[in-house]
Amino acid sequence: MSADANPQQAQEQEHRYDCIVVGSGHAGSCAALSARDAGCARVLIIDKCPPEWVGGNGFFTAGAHRTTHHGVRDLLPIVQNVSAEAAANIDMDPYTAEDFTRDIMRLGNGRSDPLVVKAVVDGSRGAVQWLAERAKVPFILSFNRQAYLVNGRHVFWGGLVLSVEDGGKGLIAAHCAALQAAGVETWFNTAATELLVEGDAIAGVIVKKEGVTVKLRAPAVILACGGFEANKDLRGKNLGVEWERAKVRGTPYNTGDGLALAQRIGARLTGDFAGCHSTCWDANAPADRGDRVLSNQFTKSGYPLGLMLNARGARFVDEGADFRNYTYAKFGRAILAQPGGVAFQLWDAEVAGWLRKEEYADDVVERITADSVEALAEKLAGKGLEDREAFVQTVARYNEAVHAFRAEHPEKEWDPAVKDGMSTQSRTLKLELPKSNWALPIEKPPFLAVKVACGITFTFGGLAIDPDTAGVLSDATGKPIRGLFCTGELVGGLFYGNYPGGSGLTGGAVFGRKAGEGAARLTSAV
């Protein structure tokens, strides 16, 4: 990316571009590169963050992209960590458009806009191919996150198989290199303050660059500056006052600017403004921003292998309701609703070795261990556990239910790569709150606990778009506002209440490409 232009020079002249992208994250980078390739000669990315915060929320991800595919052979040309010979040792079911659509719709209880969903699903495979070929994104098969080694074979689960070497850091590094090579300019420390409108069309954007007001003219503006998850007041207003204490997982610069800019010129809002992506997050993580070193390692996704108990010693979710990547984005909300907004994840020695080292290693998270559940409860009392007796009783009752199920179903085998049906619900004993899969007794010392809180990733409410073009719709006419486009977490109507892991980055790429192509069509028409 080019260095920031001189502020004094910017004050002295009116700048003209073919396309201006607001936001330097994954979605904005896709939009800018697409616009450049489609014919926009002068493309500018602006971001109010300093250069060391480039990448938006994309930087803080694992780089996971959910896409349709025909199986491992289909993906071999775009991944860098699997040879054709190694692929013979991989079990990976195809993931169809019907599968992808069903996952988004069922997790959103049927509320997602079907046309927006269709655009993401249909564009997913082409988007990851484009990212690999054009942006040189170093895709890998996600062995460490989405597969278990079962009987000597790597078994992928949950429909999600692609991530990026070095996660979001690798993703954004690839984007930065591609944008620089394509001649895309980037101005940091530059906040968009007003969209310029002439007649019924966008004419550019007014920005404040390091304290100086600058007018930027362009026939196309692409908003890719995220939702409002880093804005404490907007979280309280839209999600509820309890969300003011949620920890921000990613960039502190997603404060709702794009929504405000577009709404002031009559753009239509849509989607789940009371919903968001929120996860089990290290209770000791920073409160108002992500850590650019540890990044996504603050995620604590090992709960399907164990239990989660609140400060009063009670379980509050079905840890085995579904694969982790179908539940993790809503369990942050469940944790936030608990006393103190915290919980404790719990395992025994039987499964602790299955936990991802990236999330649970000694140098990543505070691990609390003991040789008995009672002793562990004693230690957790100093970490916020209010009822040690209830904690011990909950674990004992859970163990009793697991043993009752196993006695009734001796043919069942534990298998973390499938929904194995190993539950707590038998004819003789049923827990009020079941664990539906992967239920093993927690009996083998040493016992391990980790304290978690709610980490908010992004908000679901956003701008209404034409799913074919990513054009932002006018609230008055229901038609696209000429020259205004949107992509990434600012798009509304796609997710409600929950989401299938990896579909956010995919959506950003799909609509980013569409927005860039739309911007180029306007440029050619000028």
DSSP 367: -
User: Mean of the per-residue pLDDT values for the chain?
Assistant: 96
Our CA angle for 197, 119, 38, nearest 5°, is 55
Read off the pLDDT of residues 97-142 as tens digits, 9 standing for 90 and up.
Answer: 999 999 999 999 999 999 999 999 999 999 999 999 999 999 999 9
417's tokens: 């790569």
pLDDT (0 to 100) of residue 3: 43
Side-chain half-sphere exposure of 156, counting CA atoms within 13 A: 19
Given a contact cutoff of 8 angstroms between Cβ atoms, the answer to whether 194 and 261 are in contact is: yes
Residues 415, 438: Cα–Cα separation, whole Å = 7
Residue for token digits 């993906």?
Answer: 75
- Over residues 390-399, the mean pLDDT reads 98
CB within 8 Å of 76: residues ≥ 6 apart: 82, 84, 87
Neighbours of 39 (CB within 10 A): 15
Read off the pLDDT of residues 405-421 as tens digits, 9 standing for 90 and up.
Answer: 999 999 999 999 999 99
In order, the DSSP letters of 56-120 are GGGGGS---B---BSSHHHHGGG-SS--HHHHTTEE---B-HHHHHHHHHHHTTT-S-HHHHHHH
pLDDT band at 526 (very low <50, low <70, confident <90, very high): low
Read off the pLDDT of residues 231-251 as tens digits, 9 standing for 90 and up.
Answer: 999 999 999 999 999 999 999
pTM for the whole thing?
Answer: 0.95
Residue 273 clears pLDDT 70, i.e. is over it: yes
Residues 253, 152: Cα–Cα separation, whole Å = 45
pLDDT (0 to 100) of residue 84: 86
pLDDT band at 14 (very low <50, low <70, confident <90, very high): confident
495's tokens: 């997710």
487's tokens: 């992509």
In this structure, what is the dihedral angle of CA atoms 307, 310, 315, 316, given to the nearest 10 degrees? -110
CB within 8 Å of 306: residues ≥ 6 apart: 319, 345, 346, 347, 348, 351, 442
For residue 273, the surrounding DSSP H or E stretch is none
DSSP 311: T
Read off the pLDDT of residues 467-515 as tens digits, 9 standing for 90 and up.
Answer: 999 999 999 999 999 999 999 999 999 999 999 999 999 999 999 999 9
The one-letter code for the residue type at 333 is R
Read off the pLDDT of residues 426-446 as tens digits, 9 standing for 90 and up.
Answer: 999 999 999 999 999 999 999
pLDDT (0 to 100) of residue 266: 98
**Domain range summary for the chain, segments of one domain joined by +:** 8-275+455-524, 302-355+372-444
Which spans in 337-387 are helix H? 349-352, 357-360, 373-381
Residue 272 clears pLDDT 70, i.e. is over it: yes
pLDDT (0 to 100) of residue 525: 72
Query: For residue 465, what are the β-bridge partners?
Result: 472
- Count, in order, helices (H) and strands (E) of the chain: 16, 24
Read off the pLDDT of residues 176-225 as tens digits, 9 standing for 90 and up.
Answer: 999 999 999 999 999 999 999 999 999 999 999 988 999 999 999 999 99
Residues 36, 49: Cα–Cα separation, whole Å = 23
What fold does the segment set 302-355+372-444 form as a domain? Flavocytochrome C3; Chain A, domain 1 (3.90.700)
What fold does the segment set 8-275+455-524 form as a domain? FAD/NAD(P)-binding domain (3.50.50)
DSSP 315: B
